[in-house]
Structure 1
Amino acid sequence: MQIVGFPAGMFQTNCYIVSDDSGDCVIVDPGQDSEAQVRQQVSEAGLRPRAVLLTHGHLDHIWNAQQVADHYGVPAYIHPDDREMLSDPAKGLSLDLSAMLKGAEFTEPAEVIEVFDGDSLTFGSMVFDVDHVPGHSPGSVSFRIVVESEQGPRMVVLGGDVLFQDGVGRTDLPAGDTEVLMQSIAKKFLVLDDDAVVLPGHGPSTTVGRERRSNPFLRDL
């Protein structure tokens, strides 16, 4: 299995392409200006996209979701509590951020599949377990997948904007809730082993153990 990530657009949102040995792949959070790079990497590696996975509905994570999903004819997966943002991303933005849309129109991908806490999504040999982790947004989810490494099986979490290196997701956008976010981190992230890798929506990767030890926002947990 291979996971390739790159930051895209003005928000530098991490878009990830997860693939297995057969060439099946999924694209996670294709944000602003990610489509061209996704298409290039998929083409160069000879991959077959099977799905677009969305950790939540904020604009910087779904900007190119419709274009990528419909280009490959694959469904986009999102939690129902954030689905309305696919066609109206302003609902997840503050008034000042909404102004940047400047009349831009957004539509849902042709096929949208809603995901829920406890779901398992299988694409080829890849199995993604879904955790509902609200707080940053009502419908935030993380996708857990086990990958083989030289040290044996290892958990990798595609975490969206919930837990970062030395930080946590912002809660000052509409429907954000700090208390709910911290509960999500405690219940879904801190129960994982220290060596579990977190691939966040922005910034560098980290591990659960590192954040458990040094993240100042988690001291009370």
Structure 2
Amino acid sequence: MFVTGFPSAMFATNCFVLAPAPGEQCVVVDPGIDVVPQLDAVLAEHKLQPVAVLLTHGHLDHTFSVQPVCGARGIPAWIHPDDEELLHDPGKALSMSLDQLFGGRRTYTEPDDVKLLTDGGTLELAGLTFTVDHAPGHTRGSVMFRLPPDPDAGQWAVPEQVLLSGDVLFQGSIGRTDLPGGSYEQMLDSLARKILPLDDGTIVLPGHGGATTIGNERATNPYLAEAAPLAGPNRGM
């Protein structure tokens, strides 16, 4: 599996591109604000052809360029149904209007072809298999995407499971829960149910910041310690 990515100029949101190898079809994850020129350069450099856009959630810093990316190629955007409304009106998840955020300098357009994700479902796209984990807390429709290890794929093999965690899990932290649709209680539940059971070697590619592993976060991230289930009661002597 070939993986590359870069942060957007605004909010430093990570946009990822995944493919079986250079020169193949690919999937774009979270095309944020003003990423089109850099994304086009990455696609041209590695001779990649996008077949779909995957969205970890509906916040504008992850979705702003979804229509330019999808519309130019006639490809769909995938999002969880609980965040679908944010593709129509991203202001519902903001503490300010789009005019306040951009000063009228940028215009958002929703994608034409939207497909909906299901928790536990799998997507076969560009020769890759993505498992969808619904993990609300940052938004109601936040999801993560897992890709299985592929130790026998030759030069582009990734020997560990890969987790595109969006704004659920960061290196040393988690996504904020104070915006409309967020819930700290739901976030802790998602961490306990969706993150803690993963193998320590799982590679985490977050929505912001650098890559990490589940093992590193289990050992150092204070929010995972808080999310860890309490030990059961002692019985007998």
What is the alpha-carbon distance in structure 2 between the residues aligned to residue 16 and residue 147 of structure 1?
A: 18
Whether the 8 Å contact between 1:15 and 1:29 is mirrored in structure 2 is yes
Aligned partners of 1:72 and 1:87: how far apart in 2? 20
Paired position in structure 1 for 2:43: 42
Moved more, 172-181 or 139-148: 139-148
Residue equivalent to 1:170: 176
CA 1:96–1:85 in 2, change beyond 3 Å: closer, same or farther? closer
Aligned to 1:85: 86
Q: Secondary structure at the match of 1:148?
A: coil
Distance in 2 (CA, whole Å) between partners of 1:135 and 1:189 is: 13
Are the structure 2 counterparts of residues 198 and 174 from structure 1 closer, same or farther at C-alpha, using a change threshold of 3 Å? same
| Total equivalences in the alignment | 221
1:218 positional shift: 1.9
Is the 8 Å Cα contact of residues 87 and 106 (structure 1) preserved in structure 2?
Answer: no
Aligned residue among 204, 223, 234 for 1:217: 223
TM-score, normalised by the number of residues in structure 2: 0.88
1:144 aligns with 2:146: yes
Residue 110 of structure 1 deviates from its aligned partner by 1.6
Q: Which runs of 5+ in 1 are unaligned?
A: none
Matches within 5 A, 1:1-80: 1-21=1-21, 23-80=24-81
Which segment is superposed worse, 94-103 or 106-115? Answer: 94-103
CA RMSD after TM alignment: 1.8
> How far apart are residue 177 of structure 1 and its match?
0.3
The runs of 4+ residues in structure 1 deviating greater than 6 Å are: none
Instruction: Describe the superposition over 1:78-133 as per-residue Cα deviations: whole angstroms up to 9, x where unpaired.
Output: 01111111121111111378721445543321211010101100013200000000
- Identical columns (%): 48
Is 1:117 matched up with 2:119? yes
* Mean CA deviation greater in 32-41 or 57-66: 32-41
Range with bigger deviation, 100-109 or 46-55? 100-109
1:31 aligned partner, one-letter code: G
Does residue 1:198 correspond to 2:209, yes or no?
no
Task: Tell me, in whole angstroms, the C-alpha distance in 2 between the residues paired with 1:6 and 1:106.
Answer: 21
The 8 Å contact of residues 57 and 82 in structure 1, kept in 2 or not, is answered as yes
TM-score under structure 1 length normalisation: 0.94
Supply the AA of the counterpart residue of 2:131: D
